[in-house]
């Protein structure tokens, strides 16, 4: 009985240390965000380096992170979740928060008595073959259409009509698996993502941890987005963990029994 009590206390202490560490890393509570769509997947199979439906993403407070966009990440060779730049979680006026990659920060520059324009200083040093603004490369004075070439893990060509955006600075964002940017008429949000809209920055993902929550929610769309290999691998991992814990408990019990037997 004494050994069992010690084991319980030790387990509780480990759990407390783990959650304290997560809070210190995250800066918010709870530190998890469950992924309920396939917009960030890089294939039809779940992997450890991407964000897949059913993953639990450990998130961080924006105050603890200097957000790097896809453009920044490309220049610095900084990658998260299988591609350049950071992934953010932002709120919108309707629907669930969105977890997508920050692509580039655009500044709106108003002009008294005339038309304003957009600028993107971070494009300095970014390959000109990778972007254009109406065919040109004046990143300090942009209107019209901003286009990226060979973008992301699937080398997409994606464009954004700058003239259709509300005149407020912010991030252009995109789901890695989506064919278009989030921003603009018909998109997930009408304008750019301001810093005030950002709820979290994604730190790392724990595969499959959110699958049970999705099934319990009964959200058929989210259920349909879960990669085919996720549930079998989650079950296999769960069985393996339970087996290891059972084996350790059995070994501990045997050692305790043997010790007491030897003392008789």
Q: What is the pLDDT of residues 39-65, one digit of tens each?
A: 999 999 999 999 999 999 999 999 999
Alpha carbons within 13 A on the beta-carbon side of 107: 11
Query: How many Å is the maximal CA-CA distance in the chain?
Result: 97
The residue with greater pLDDT, 27 or 99, is 99
- Residue 136: predicted pLDDT: 98
DSSP β-bridge partners for residue 98: 90
How far is CA 113 from each of CA 116, 119, 139, 165, rounded to the nearest angstrom? 9, 19, 22, 19
pLDDT of residue 3 exceeding 70, the answer is no
pLDDT of residue 256 exceeding 90, the answer is no
Strands (E), 21-70: 32-34, 56-60
Q: Which of 39-48, 120-129, 152-161, 242-251 has the lowest mean pLDDT?
A: 242-251
Cβ–Cβ under 8 Å, residues 8 and 2? no
Token pair of 71, please?
A: 């453009």
How far is 256 from 244, CA to CA, in rounded Å? 18
Average pLDDT, the chain: 89
How far is CA 191 from each of CA 23, 163, 164, 197, 227, rounded to the nearest angstrom? 32, 11, 8, 11, 31
pLDDT of residue 187 exceeding 90, the answer is yes
- Residue 11: predicted pLDDT: 55
Average pLDDT over residues 67-79: 98
Question: pLDDT digits over 131-186, tens only?
Answer: 999 999 999 999 999 999 999 999 999 999 999 999 999 999 999 999 999 999 99
Token pair of 258, please?
A: 């043997």
pLDDT of residue 234 exceeding 70, the answer is yes
pTM value?
Answer: 0.86
H-type helices in the chain, by residue range? 2-26, 70-76, 211-217, 220-225, 230-263
Residues 103, 77, 152: CA angle, nearest 5 degrees:
40
DSSP β-bridge partners for residue 158: 148
Contacts of 20 (CB under 8 A, 6+ apart): none
How far is 216 from 13, CA to CA, in rounded Å? 30
Token pair of 5, please?
A: 């009590």
DSSP β-bridge partners for residue 107: 119
Within 10 angstroms of residue 89's Cβ, the number of other Cβ atoms is: 21
In the chain, the percentage of residues whose pLDDT exceeds 90 is 71
Q: Beta 87-90 vs 114-119: how paired, if at all?
A: unpaired
The residue with greater pLDDT, 231 or 215, is 215
- Residue 80: predicted pLDDT: 98
Average pLDDT over residues 96-105: 97
């Amino acid at each position: 009985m004494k050994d069992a009590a010690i084991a319980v206390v030790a387990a509780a202490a480990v759990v407390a240390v783990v959650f304290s560490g997560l809070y210190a890393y995250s800066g918010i509570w709870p530190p998890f965000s469950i992924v309920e769509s396939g917009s960030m997947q890089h294939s039809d199979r779940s992997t450890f380096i991407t964000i897949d439906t059913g993953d639990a993403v450990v998130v961080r407070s924006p105050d603890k992170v200097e957000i790097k966009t896809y453009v920044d990440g490309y220049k610095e060779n900084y990658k998260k979740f299988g591609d350049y730049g950071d992934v953010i979680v932002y709120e919108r006026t309707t629907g669930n928060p969105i977890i997508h990659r920050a692509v580039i920060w655009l500044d709106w520059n108003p002009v008294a008595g005339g038309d304003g324009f957009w600028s993107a200083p971070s494009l300095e040093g970014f390959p000109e073959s990778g972007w254009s603004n109406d065919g040109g490369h004046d990143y300090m004075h942009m209107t019209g259409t901003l286009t990226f070439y060979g973008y992301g893990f699937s080398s997409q060509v994606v464009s954004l009509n700058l003239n259709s955006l509300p005149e407020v600075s912010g991030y252009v964002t995109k789901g890695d698996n989506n064919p278009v940017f989030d921003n603009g008429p018909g998109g997930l949000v009408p304008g750019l993502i301001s810093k005030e809209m950002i709820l979290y920055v994604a730190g790392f993902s724990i595969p499959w941890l959110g699958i049970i929550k999705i099934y319990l929610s009964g959200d058929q769309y989210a259920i349909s987005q879960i990669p085919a290999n996720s549930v079998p691998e989650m079950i296999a991992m769960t069985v393996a963990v339970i087996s290891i814990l059972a084996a350790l408990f059995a070994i501990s019990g045997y050692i305790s029994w043997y010790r007491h037997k030897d003392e008789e």
